[in-house]
Amino acid sequence: MPRAGLILPPGFSGLTVAGDAHAAACRLAGAGEAEAATLVLGSRADLLDLAVVLAPDEPLRTARRAFFAGMAALADAVGIFGPPEIPVRIVWPGTLTFNGARLGGGRLGWPEGCAEEAVPDWLVFSATLIVSKAAAGDPGLTPESTALDEEGFPPDLQGPVAESFARHLTKAFEVWREDGFDRLAARYLGRLEDERRSLALDGDGARLVRADGSAERVPLIAALLAPAWRDAGTGGVRL
């Protein structure tokens, strides 16, 4: 597999694969062929497809919180390149929207059969964004989704967004380590379309507290296993 020509933070390495970045990263991590901070890029021209291997140091049940670090980093990375007056938003838990339409989202992978109270050998956070919907025809036929090339983003962003994501992910984990998960969660919550005040994992779900103090328990694991934004048939983002 060729190395990706990226300028990445210390400790990161980059690879380019022909297929799905998430599947490739999980396969490589499971085989012991990809260390932590390996950034894998897919090669489809119509998608920005990336995945990063993580090395958790806590049980799977709580290690899944890394997903929120990945989503916060992804939103921050994309926001740098888009029109500043249009915010990047998140629909719980992992759909990324721009200008009110679905742009892509994030996923989390972990070893099959890993017990909730066991420390997994690896995690993989991955993200897929629509670069272009040109092959789908008239954008008016797919109004619920959008693409980078429709929203004023510069061309050829796969590499720059991947580099920016790696930098923001490094910062997100630094915030988590130095200031605690609540501070990191606040960065994620600040991007949610529906305002929330706090976030905590709760069994196979999560507990979200609204600004008015009312609480809501929402599913998490099921949503991570079958992301709402993903088109399983095409391997891309639902149009």
**Which residues face 88 on adjacent strands?**
98
DSSP-derived letter for residue 219 is E
Please check whether residue 238 is in contact with residue 231, taking contact to mean a CB–CB distance below 8 angstroms. yes
Distances 205 to 62, 88, 139, 224 between C-alpha atoms, Å: 11, 24, 35, 10
User: What value does the mean pLDDT take over residues 6-19?
Assistant: 92
Please check whether residue 6 is in contact with residue 159, taking contact to mean a CB–CB distance below 8 angstroms. yes
Which residues, at least 6 apart from 216, have a Cβ–Cβ distance to it below 8 Å?
207, 208, 209, 210
Looking at residue 138, its pLDDT comes to 79
Does residue 182 register a pLDDT over 60? yes
Looking at residue 190, its pLDDT comes to 94
User: How confident is the prediction for the chain on average, in pLDDT?
Assistant: 93
Q: Alpha-carbon distance 76 to 78, whole Å?
A: 6
Looking at residue 122, its pLDDT comes to 98
The pLDDT confidence band at residue 1, using thresholds 50, 70 and 90, is low
The pLDDT confidence band at residue 212, using thresholds 50, 70 and 90, is confident
Q: What percent of the chain has pLDDT over 90?
A: 82
Handedness of CA 174, 177, 178, 182 (dihedral sign): positive
Looking at residue 163, its pLDDT comes to 96
Task: Please classify residue 122 by burial: count the beta carbons closer than 10 Å to its beta carbon, then call 0-12 exposed, 13-18 middle and 19+ buried.
Answer: buried
Side-by-side strand order, sheet with 101-109: 13-16, 38-41, 47-54, 123-130, 101-109, 95-98, 88-91
Looking at residue 183, its pLDDT comes to 95
Looking at residue 49, its pLDDT comes to 96
User: What value does the mean pLDDT take over residues 215-239?
Assistant: 94
Structure tokens at 172: 């997100």
Tell me, yes or no, if the pTM score tops 0.85. Answer: yes
The pLDDT confidence band at residue 173, using thresholds 50, 70 and 90, is very high
Phi/psi region, residue 235 (left: phi>0; alpha: psi -120 to 50; beta: rest), is left
Looking at residue 6, its pLDDT comes to 85
pLDDT tens-digit readout, 45-84: 999 999 999 999 999 999 999 999 999 999 999 999 999 8
User: What value does the mean pLDDT take over residues 94-110?
Assistant: 97
pLDDT tens-digit readout, 108-148: 999 999 999 999 999 999 999 999 998 877 777 889 999 99
Does residue 5 register a pLDDT over 70? yes
The pLDDT confidence band at residue 103, using thresholds 50, 70 and 90, is very high
Q: Alpha-carbon distance 157 to 176, whole Å?
A: 28
DSSP string, 164-210: HHHHHHHHHHHHHHHH-HHHHHHHHHTTBSS--SEEEEETTEEEEE-
Q: Alpha-carbon distance 34 to 113, whole Å?
A: 20
The pLDDT confidence band at residue 153, using thresholds 50, 70 and 90, is very high
